[in-house]
Amino acid sequence: MGFLNNLFSIDMLIYRFPAIVLALTIHEYSHGRVAYAFGDPTAKNAGRLTLNPLMHLDVIGTLMLLVFQFGWAKPVPVNPYFFQGDRRKKVMYVSVAGPLSNLLQAIIVAILLSLLVHFLPPRNNPFSIWFTNFLQYLILINIVLAVFNLLPVPPLDGSKILAGILPERYAYIIYQLERYGFIILIIAMFLGVFSAIISPVVYFIFHAIMGLVGL
């Protein structure tokens, strides 16, 4: 689609910010909601069990997403000591909730976009053009967030998912690396490592979803 060719143009900023806000908010809310379902009230007590984006946005992380397509929100606080049973597994489920919410959001928005295009073709007015492009970017940014967060690099969700799968002795090593995770992420971003790894996966999933809904 022509939309992808103009992805990094300045004009796309009018689609990026609202899409990023929505995608990040639902991502973090999903973490908190699943943790709360497992008995952890930490996110709720911190005022983070909400769809109010102001409670979730991180200034630097949001700017990174706007400029580099990779970024983050303020992590929802989770205290696994409230969990009953296998805590590592439940931490894994809480971690899965964020990327899964983004993928589900991408699919739902793609279905909505397909219905609009096929049954209510956008008229040639600024709002219709903005809304159509916004929905396309919302699909893309949700896929970016899902794939990026599934990387097994601390403190991303993927590292906690991997820790929940591996034997405990290896999971301990992953948790110990978390203190260096932010530095690793920043260096990898500026070296373009993540872009080289993630971009092909993101575009494959994007085209697959658009193809499934007939776009």
Helices 87-119, 193-212: crossing angle, 10 deg rounding: 50
Q: How far is CA 164 from CA 123, 150, 160, 171, in A?
A: 49, 13, 6, 7
pLDDT of residue 7 exceeding 60, the answer is no
What is the C-alpha to C-alpha distance for residues 200 and 165, in angstroms, rounded to an integer?
26
Residues with a catalytic annotation lie at 28
- pLDDT tens sequence across 140-163: 989 988 998 998 888 889 888 988
- Predicted local distance difference test score (pLDDT) of residue 170: 72
> Residue 181 has what pLDDT?
66
36, amino acid identity: Y
pLDDT digits (tens, 9 = 90+) for 61-118: 767 666 665 666 788 899 999 999 888 899 999 999 999 999 999 999 999 999 988 8
What is the residue type of 115?
L
Instruction: Tokens 């983050």: give the residue.
Output: 72
| Residues 6 or more apart in contact with residue 195 via CB below 8 angstroms | 68, 69, 70, 189
pLDDT at residue number 32 = 94
28 compared with 169, residue with greater pLDDT: 28
**Mean pLDDT across the stretch 127-135?**
81
Other C-beta atoms closer than 10 Å to the C-beta of 140 total: 26
* Residues 21-53: tens digit of each pLDDT: 899 899 999 999 999 999 999 999 999 999 998
pTM of the model: 0.85
